[in-house]
Structure 1
Amino acid sequence: MRQFIADKASRLLEWLHASRWVGPLAVRLVFGYFWLETGIAKVQNLDGFTQRFVGWHIPHPAFNAALSAWTELLGGLFILLGLFTRLVCIPMIINMVVAVTLVVSANLMGLDDYVEADEVVYSLIFFWLLIAGPGKASLDTLVARWLGIRTQG
């Protein structure tokens, strides 16, 4: 019986290992679509989004609102496609740091509030994508293969 369980566990682990590309793909598709959608909404209502920046006392509100909105739109698109994923995560993280620092932190009272803030969770996902990369099922992987660059996985 013990050997039977060990064999089944071994097969399951082998299957999970062979399927490890699904996790990054699922995260990229959902997370990328989320940011693409929010970016489109902000770009389509840039005047309203700029007024929020004015209310938050962010310097140069028209420029910074447009920069933030287009960063989300293009960042979401590139993450969704798995193209320039690691590079795109850098401005997305900066966007989240600015949001936490200038907007969200005014409503946070302690460590629990910071840990539960959406922007902190988003930053961690961007950080994970920056470090781990987009996974095997991505345009980054196809481009790397075309260029003859060996990738992990």
Structure 2
Amino acid sequence: MTTISAIRGRCQQTTRRLHALGWLPNLVLRVSIGFMFASGAVGKLADLAAFTRLFEQLGVPQASWAAPVVALIELVGGLGLMAGAATRLSALALAAIMIGATLTAVAPPLHDKYPTTWDFLSNLFYSPEWLLACLLAWLVCAGAGKASVDALVSRRIATSQHTGHRSP
């Protein structure tokens, strides 16, 4: 009995320690995805003509307008994710871009190559765009976590409301 109690105690202690680190995966996810988008946007903005041509080849309407807007959203949204500032809005905007990329660049070639529903979906769910859309949707729901500008602002607002003072 004491061995089972000891194992149970160690499991509970480990669970408490892991729960206390629950903010860490969120931080790693935000910074990784944010950096990926921000660094990619820098490259797209550096050669905007090539990025616009890609949009034209994909049949994106108003490519000359859409390409720079997408690149700017990726830059600002990526930086926002990295800092954990306006995380839900940044993640929502970036998820919309990933859904657009899935619909224009990923799904059509997959559909041509894999006409059966099973094969198409099997390959679609392997695409990085789909995975990023899902991770970003999770960030929309979960928020930035405690290691973020959003959490700092939220704490300041809560403190000022509790003390009755306005935050500068």
Structure-2 separation of matches of 1:27 and 1:128: 10
Partner of 2:150: 140
The 2-side partners of 1:15 and 1:56 are apart by 48
Q: Which residue matches 1:123?
A: 133
Larger Rg: 2
- Distance in 2, matches of 1:90 and 1:27, equals 15
Letter in 2 for 1:131: C
Counterpart in the other structure of 2:4:
2
Task: Report what 1:98 is aligned to.
Answer: 100
The TM-score, its normalising length taken from structure 1, stands at 0.94
The CA distance in 2 between the partners of 1:100 and 1:20, in whole Å, is: 30
Q: What SS does structure 2 have at the residue aligned with 1:148?
A: helix
Q: CA deviation at 1:84?
A: 0.2
* Alpha-carbon distance, 1:87 to partner: 1.1
Q: For residues 122 and 151 of structure 2, what CA distance do their matches in structure 1 show? A: 38
Please show how residues 57-96 of structure 1 align to structure 2 within 5 Å.
57-96=59-98
Question: Offset of 1:10 from its aligned partner?
Answer: 0.9
**RMSD of aligned alpha carbons:** 1.3
Q: Which blocks of at least 5 consecutive residues in structure 1 are unaligned?
A: none
1:55 is matched with: 57
Q: TM-score, normalised by structure 2?
A: 0.85
Q: Find the aligned partners of 1:128 and 1:74 in 2 and give their Cα distance.
A: 19
Q: Residue 164 of structure 2 aligns with which residue?
A: none
C-alpha distance after superposition, 1:84-108 (max 9, x if no partner): 0001112111111111112211121
| Structure 2: 5+ residue stretches without partners | 115-119, 162-168
**What CA distance in whole angstroms lies between the structure 2 residues aligned with 1:19 and 1:98?**
34
Structure 1 residues 87-140: Cα deviation after superposition (integer angstroms, max 9, x where no partner): 111211111111111221112131101111111100001000000111110000
Q: Partners in 1 of 2:158 and 2:45 — Cα distance?
A: 37
Moved over 4 A (4+): none
Which residue type is aligned with residue 30 of structure 1? S
Q: How many residues align?
A: 150
